[in-house]
Amino acid sequence: MLKNDAFLKACRKEPVEFTPVWIMRQAGRYMKEYRAIRKKVDFLTLCKTPGLVAEATLLPVDLLGVDAAILFSDILIPVEAMGMEVRFTEKRGPVFSDPVRSESRAEGLSVPGPLESEERMPFIPESIRLILKALGDRVPLIGFSGAPFTLATYMIEGETSKSFTWVKRIMYSDPGLLHNVLDKVATTVIHYLNMQIQAGVHAVQLFDTWAGALSPDDYREFALPYTRRVIDGINRGINRGITRGTRGFDSRGFPVILFANGVSGILEDMADSGAGVISLDWRIDIGDARRRVGGKAALQGNLDPCVLYSGPSVIKRYTRSILDKYGPGPGHIFNLGHGILPDTPVDHAKALVEIVHEESSRR
Ligand code: CP3
């Protein structure tokens, strides 16, 4: 039994006493305690050292009072397990040495099944077990994965891209190749998430960060079917007893949050994915989003991360506005519209959590 299950209740659109809040990238460089851990080890070593993963994961629970913890890791971990070599650089972020741009390169990708996932990423279930022990049922733990389209984007571009010219070149000139890559990634993600669920995470978030760069038609062809397959794969795993961790699960499915940066053109399609929660960026009015989704999913979001540069009174005004726009009734999880920025003052993140709790419990 969790002491604070407001987050899981909101995922299922059950009534809560206050709006639960957590922050994307809540353990990160804006915290001096995180920077102290990173002084000792590089980023990938941190992700693969369960003791340090648990330490990082717990920081925002202890320091900010958020209503959910999220496994400290990166969306590119399972891509490495598919046989791609990734480096994290200070300036350019993640870089792959041999991006996938041909059929022969795609054929060379490995698709780790349940056993290979455990063999190649043993630090994931080990970290989850350590985190659950350290949390002691205070708040739920969120697992995560990149969604297939966003992972394929990194595999094809080879690094973070602004214009996605390689993935789109292939999308329009050789769509079969892109589908082939997406198919392999989707299968990998299903096993990867079922491994996390089996180890005990209470919910999962799918980061489809770059899906908002697609036209709605292309979203329906290249992103949505694979996201759906992942969500079906998770629920099928649970129904067949392949995955044990059924906490928070009922006939409506395991709690899955689907995030994209730039949801407004694809919102109704995202709501058709089977995800119980849609995570919004800040460019959309959450009241409009609620009307458009029409009860198909709970909503998460959607404060502009830059509001946290201001101070408590401005944070309060913007927070109230989002709570007002969402309106009465359950099914809202407060969050930023994208990850917290590295130069955010920690006090402002802490103030946000307090303000969300205070303002929402008064209603
Ligand atoms: O939310 C959390 O606190 C959990 C941890 C988490 C990280 N990355 C830690 C991280 C999560 C959920 C992610 C997801 C992730 N990783 C995404 C999707 C979410 C999003 O922001 O859109 C993406 C696109 C990545 C890929 C990635 N990882 C990039 C582009 C970078 C470099 C940019 C940057 O911010 O430095 C990373 C590195 C990364 N992932 C850091 C952290 C804390 C910084 C690494 C460091 O300590 O130097």
259-308 pLDDT tens trace: 999 999 999 999 999 999 999 999 999 999 999 999 999 999 999 999 99
Q: How far is residue 327 from each of residues 87, 287, 299, 313, measured CA to CA in Å? A: 44, 7, 12, 21
Whether the pLDDT of residue 257 is over 60: the answer is yes
Nearest to 47 by CA among 31, 60, 30, 34: 34
CA 79 centroid distance within chain:
16
Q: CA 297 to CA 63: how far, in whole Å?
A: 30
pLDDT digits (tens, 9 = 90+) for 75-100: 999 999 999 999 999 888 999 999 99
H-helix or E-strand containing 321?
Answer: helix 312-326
Q: How far is the CA of 147 from the centre of ligand 1 (A)?
A: 14
| Neighbouring residues of 295: CB distance < 8 A, sequence distance ≥ 6 | none
Q: Between 235 and 256, whose confidence is greater?
A: 256
pLDDT digits (tens, 9 = 90+) for 180-201: 999 999 999 999 999 999 999 9
Q: How far is the CA of 37 from the centre of ligand 1 (A)?
A: 16
Question: What DSSP character marks residue 341?
Answer: P
Give yes or no: 25 in active site: yes
Give yes or no: 38 in active site: yes
pLDDT at 120: 98
Provide the percentage of residues in the chain whose pLDDT is more than 90. Answer: 93
Lowest mean pLDDT among 59-68, 80-89, 232-241, 313-322: 232-241
pLDDT at 239: 74
Q: Whose CA is nearest to atom 48 of ligand 1?
A: 43
Give yes or no: 154 in active site: yes
Whether the pLDDT of residue 252 is over 70: the answer is no
Q: Which atom of ligand 1 is nearest to 93's Cα?
A: 32
Q: How far is the CA of 328 from the centre of ligand 1 (A)?
A: 33
> 5, 12, 25, 120: which one is catalytic?
25
How is the beta sheet containing 332-336 ordered, strand by strand?
A: 69-70, 141-146, 203-207, 256-259, 277-279, 298-303, 332-336
The tokens for 344 are 């955010």
Q: Whose CA is nearest to atom 23 of ligand 1?
A: 75
Total-model pTM: 0.96
The residues with which 250 forms a beta bridge, in sequence order, are 253
